[in-house]
Chains A and B, each alone.
Chain A
Amino acid sequence: MNSIIRAIGVLALTWFLQVMIFRFGIFSNGWLVICFHLYGLILLPLDLPKASYLIIGAVTGAFLDVVILTGGLHMAAGAFVGLMIPKWNEFIAPRDGFIKGHSISVSHDGWGQFIALSSLITFSYMFVLFAAEGFKWNLIPNAFAKALCSSVLNVILFSIAQGLFGRKPKTKGPKVSAYPWS
Chain B
Amino acid sequence: MHTLIQLLRRNHRMVLFVLLEIIALNWIASTHAHPRGSIASIGMKMSSSWTGTLGRMMYLKELKTTNVSLLMENARLRTANINAQKTNFTDTYDVTFNQEIWESIPAEIIRYSSDFKNNILVANRGRSSGVIPGMGMLDNGKIAGLVTEVTEHESLVLPIIHLHTEWSVRLGNEGAIGRMVWSGQGTEYATLKDIPLTELILPGDPVVTTGFQGTFPSGLEVGKVEEVLVTQADKFQSVTVKLGADYKHIHYVEFLLNSSAGIVDSLITMAPE
Contact = CB atoms under 8 A, between A and B. Distances in A.
Interface of A: 26, 29-30, 33, 50-51, 54-55, 58, 61-62, 65-73, 75-76, 79-80, 82-83, 132-135, 139
Nearest to B31: A71
A26 B115 contact: yes
Given A51-B13, A71-B27, A72-B26, A134 B46 contact: no
A69 B113 contact: yes
B211 to A, nearest CB: 31
B118 interface: yes
Given A54-B17, A83-B13, A76 B25 contact: yes
B25 A72 contact: yes
B44 A75 contact: no
- The residue in A68, A79, A83 that gathers the most chain B C-beta atoms within 10 A of its C-beta is A79
A29 B189 CA distance: 13
B20 A133 contact: no
B113 A73 contact: no
B196 interface: no
Contacts of B46: 66-67
The list of the 8 closest CB pairs from A to B, nearest first, reads A72-B27, A71-B31, A76-B24, A30-B115, A79-B20, A75-B24, A72-B28, A69-B47
Contacts, number: 90
Interface of B is mostly: helix
Interface string B145-164: 00000000000000000000
B149 to A, nearest CB: 12
B44 A69 contact: yes
Contacts of B43: 65-66, 69, 71
Interface string B26-46: 111011110100001001101
Contact of B12 (A51, A67, A133, A135): A51
A69 B122 contact: yes
- The residue in A66, A69, A75 that gathers the most chain B C-beta atoms within 10 A of its C-beta is A69
Given A51-B16, A55-B16, A69 B21 contact: no
A75 B115 contact: no
A73 B28 contact: yes
A135 B17 contact: no
A133 B17 contact: no
Contacts of B184: 134, 139
Contacts of A83: 13, 17
Nearest to B30: A71
Interface of B: 12-13, 16-17, 20-21, 23-28, 30-33, 35, 40, 43-44, 46-47, 50, 111, 113, 115-118, 120, 122, 184-187
A67 B50 contact: yes
A60 B194 CA distance: 44
Contacts of A61: 24
B21 A76 contact: yes
A7 to B, nearest CB: 20
A135 to B, nearest CB: 7
A72 B40 CA distance: 10
Contacts of A73: 24, 28
A51 B16 CA distance: 8
A67 B20 CA distance: 19
27 contacts: A26-B115, A29-B187, A30-B116, A33-B115, A67-B46, A69-B43, A69-B122, A70-B113, A70-B116, A71-B27, A71-B28, A71-B30, A71-B31, A71-B32, A72-B23, A72-B25, A72-B27, A72-B31, A73-B28, A76-B24, A79-B24, A83-B13, A133-B117, A133-B118, A134-B117, A135-B117, A139-B117
- The residue in B20, B115, B122 that gathers the most chain A C-beta atoms within 10 A of its C-beta is B20
A6 to B, nearest CB: 25
Given A51-B12, A135-B32, A69 B120 contact: yes
Given A79-B20, A79-B24, A83-B13, A133 B31 contact: no
A29 B184 CA distance: 10
B163 to A, nearest CB: 8
B13 A50 contact: yes
